[in-house]
Amino acid sequence: MADSKASKKLLIAGGVVLAAGIGTFLYQQYQLSKKLCYSANGFRILRFGLDSSTVEINISLENKGELDLDLKRMNFDVYANEIFIASVSQDVLTPIIPHGKADIPVKVSFNPKDILSNIGGILGQSGLDNIQWRFKGKAVVEKWGIPFPLPLNLTYTTNELRSPSTDSVC
């Protein structure tokens, strides 16, 4: 009988420790998302063709936290004036030290024929320099072998992307 009570207490204690561990994990994920900032710049055309084109955009991640992080993957969609252009999925292995910054060149490949039908909506009334480019998805960082998917949501004009630096979004 005493062994049964001790087993129940041990089981309850184990459940409390597990719940505390899960709570700590969720809290750390929340804290990480508050301490990683993004910006994009350095837009350049790598290849232009009627069947396939590739541009490169530099995505910068700044770690404002106290922990070393490893960027593992970036997955996001690219929109021009809210019209879908391409999906990007890029595996990377980039360490980001505390209070450090990492620049990731991201290649975006697309078929120009697919967007020609929407060229009026993309150019709109603003012209090429003022197209609103939006990058929406996630960056996956890892700490202690635990992946943390963090939201990525950036919007810049073509002119801003051409500039050497843009403001970070935290």
Domain 2-162: which topology? Immunoglobulin-like (2.60.40)
The pLDDT-based confidence of 30 (bands split at 50, 70, 90) is low
**Stretch 117-138: mean pLDDT:** 82
- The DSSP bridge pattern shows strands 146-157 and 132-143 to be antiparallel
pLDDT tens per residue across span 58-87 = 888 888 887 788 899 999 999 988 989 999
- Residue with more model confidence, 115 or 141: 141
- Residue 107's closest CA among 86, 134, 122? 86
What are the residue boundaries of the structural domains of the chain, listed by start? 2-162
Looking at residue 32, its pLDDT comes to 59
What is the DSSP secondary-structure string of the chain? -HHHHHHHHHHHHHHHHHHHHHHHHHHHHHHHHHHEEEEEEEEEEEE--SS-EEEEEEEEEEE-SSS-EEEEEEEEEEEETTEEEEEEEEEEEEEE-TT-EEEEEEEEEE-HHHHHTTHHHHHTTT-GGG-EEEEEEEEEEEETTEEEEEEEEEEEEHHHHHSS----B-
| Rounded distance between C-alpha atoms, residue 88 and residue 106, angstroms | 8
Does residue 21 have a pLDDT over 90?
Answer: no
Mean pLDDT, the chain, as a whole number? Answer: 83
| Rounded distance between C-alpha atoms, residue 69 and residue 18, angstroms | 24
